Amino acid sequence: MALTPTAAGRLAAGMAATSSDADLADWLERHAAALLAGNNVTLLPHLPRLLAVDDERRPWLRLVVATTLFARDARDPLPWRMLRDAAAAFRRAGDLVGYGCALYTEGNWSITIGDIPAATRLWEEGRVHLDGHLPAYAHSLANQAWSAYGTGDLVRARTLGEEAVAIAVRHGDARALGTAYTHLSAYEIWLGSFTRASVNLAGADRAFQEITEGVQRYEWPIALVMAGAVEALRGRWPDAHRRMDHAVVAADETGSAWIRGIVHAIRADVSAVATPLRSLADADVAVEALTGVDERWWMSWARVASGRALGAAGHRHAAARTIERVIAEAEVPPVERARHLMLLGEQVVDTDPARARDLITEAIAGFERCGAAYWTGHAWSRLALADGSRAARHWERARAVAPSDPAATYMLRELATLRVSFFTGPAVLVGTTEVRFPTRHALYLLLALAAHAPDGVRAERLGGWLWPDATREVAAHRLKNAVWQVRSHLGAAGGRLYRRGDRLLLDVTGDECDLLALTRRAESLLRGVATEAREVRATIDGLRRPLLDVDGAEWASELGERCAGLAARLATRFPTFAG
């Protein structure tokens, strides 16, 4: 019965510890195909002994020893020489399966040094020769999906990734399944299918949890950090930090510099804006770890993450130089290059907006060619910062092309914080700066939309509220001007005001608007969620406070009546708490 890669790795360590040289060589020769689809680090302590075994007529053994040497030091030329000697021996003997495994292995090594074209060619040629029942076949298919990703064909990458998952399920290979799910999730993230990515990452987690030997589930931390990345893209930072911190601990426990470097590189990139100083430290750890294993692809991620963190810490010039060098030096997949261009544009948007426009426009074209809908929308939202005269059009385009997901909402929210206060002022703040609108109608427009978030208000009704004595046509014209005034004065937060059909909406949360927070707390109390006397009294008192004087405007009167009604219902529901 054929061994799974996990079982082969476990038994190999036992055989090396208890068997004679001849028996060990025979065993490794027989089960090499399974070992090659797993992790050979369990054989590292036995390398001197393995190198002493005569492998002249044992190409499978030579291939196993080569992969173990590569795991020890990817910069050593000896494993490459042994690998190619084994491949040549397989060809001379007519052993096409062995030759396919050799090509599969060389493809894996090529991708670590960033040679995507070579890896693509080797995987495609190798899989032709591999038996569909071999563990390496499923791994090869998952890796071949990376080659499609490397050419910018995200849809084909996803298709191949789904096929690799199906094959791994058929074979009952937990490690291959975890790996395939992890790879598939990466393509879903680039395609903007975040819900599917989350489901696949949960599948990867379950598959890796089935493996008891930690050394055989060394890719598990990558799945964990990617799950954190999805939460971060959706703005759910507490969950994101928890998952990514877990991934870092798990990566350190693997003892693999490669895994440790990748996980720190991803956390550095994802958290660059939220925690720039920690991201700089993460990037340094990643660069050191990846340099040690000659891993060049992920090195570009670590370097770009360092650039982003420098920018977030206020060092925009240094950030731009760092990202520029990566773009000039690193050969990366098209979708990653598009993202690098967008990130560089973000760094120069204040000092050279014309260049920022060119960079981000080029990034948009790159994302569109790859079918990366979310990232296309993300880039449109950043173009709005560099092209203020057409910002409204760019924000509308961003919302139109991005998929329906919390990440699409957060990509606009993260541009700038927005605070709307009804009870102190009223006042509107973007970041720490209070916004002074040129007309009172512009302010009232924003307040009315904030009060009716998240559902918004029909444009015709809004015009009637703000200009009750005007004709419908005049009110519509004035409303259009007022919308422009609000957007232009909100600056980076201007994308929060948008139109959906015949409705205008303001994207503002309860954490950002005191009135929303108060009315939602009142509704929660009425549902019986909490019944502390102090909370009830504070809520009733808040609802009874004077709201704002808008010259008897209908919308403001309705708002006052709503607050008074909520206060009365609370007093009726909790008479002993009302005071």
- Local confidence pLDDT in tens for the 579 residues of the chain: 466 666 666 677 677 777 887 887 788 888 777 777 666 667 777 788 888 877 778 898 898 889 888 888 878 899 999 999 999 999 999 999 899 889 988 988 887 776 777 887 888 888 788 766 566 666 677 777 887 898 899 999 999 999 989 988 887 888 889 989 999 999 999 999 999 999 999 999 999 998 877 666 778 999 999 999 999 999 999 999 999 999 999 998 888 888 999 999 999 999 999 999 999 999 999 999 999 888 888 999 999 999 999 999 999 999 999 999 999 988 889 999 999 999 999 999 999 999 999 999 999 999 999 999 999 999 999 999 999 889 989 999 999 999 999 999 999 999 889 999 998 778 999 999 999 999 999 999 999 999 999 999 999 999 999 999 899 999 999 999 999 999 999 999 999 999 999 999 999 988 899 999 999 999 988 888 656 788 889 999 999 888 776 655 778 888 888 999 999 999 988 887 765
- Nearest Cα neighbor of 190 from 293, 69, 334 is 334
Angle at 46 between CA 45 and CA 51, to 5 degrees: 130
Supply 143's token pair.
């890796």
CA–CA separation, 511 and 24 (whole Å): 65
- Nearest Cα neighbor of 97 from 71, 135, 62, 68 is 135
Supply 486's token pair.
């609000």
What global pTM score does this model have? 0.82
CA–CA separation, 192 and 180 (whole Å): 18
Q: Is 54 exposed, middle or buried (0-12, 13-18, 19+ CB in 10 A)?
A: exposed
CA–CA separation, 40 and 200 (whole Å): 26
Supply 320's token pair.
């731009």
Tracing tokens 């044992």 back to the chain, one arrives at 58
- Ramachandran sector of residue 491 (left: φ over 0; alpha: ψ -120 to 50; beta: rest): left
CA–CA separation, 42 and 74 (whole Å): 17
CA–CA separation, 467 and 463 (whole Å): 6
> What is the amino acid identity at position 269?
D
Predicted local distance difference test score (pLDDT) of residue 338: 97
CA–CA separation, 477 and 361 (whole Å): 31
CA–CA separation, 467 and 182 (whole Å): 56
CA–CA separation, 147 and 144 (whole Å): 5
How are strands ordered across the β-sheet holding 433-434? 418-421, 427-430, 433-434
CA–CA separation, 116 and 180 (whole Å): 19
Tracing tokens 């709307």 back to the chain, one arrives at 420
CA–CA separation, 20 and 183 (whole Å): 39
> What is the amino acid identity at position 339?
R
Predicted local distance difference test score (pLDDT) of residue 1: 45
β-partners of residue 430 are 418, 433
Predicted local distance difference test score (pLDDT) of residue 249: 95
Predicted local distance difference test score (pLDDT) of residue 547: 76
What lies within 8 Å, CB to CB, of 410 at 6+ separation is 233, 234, 235
β-partners of residue 170 are none
Predicted local distance difference test score (pLDDT) of residue 44: 78
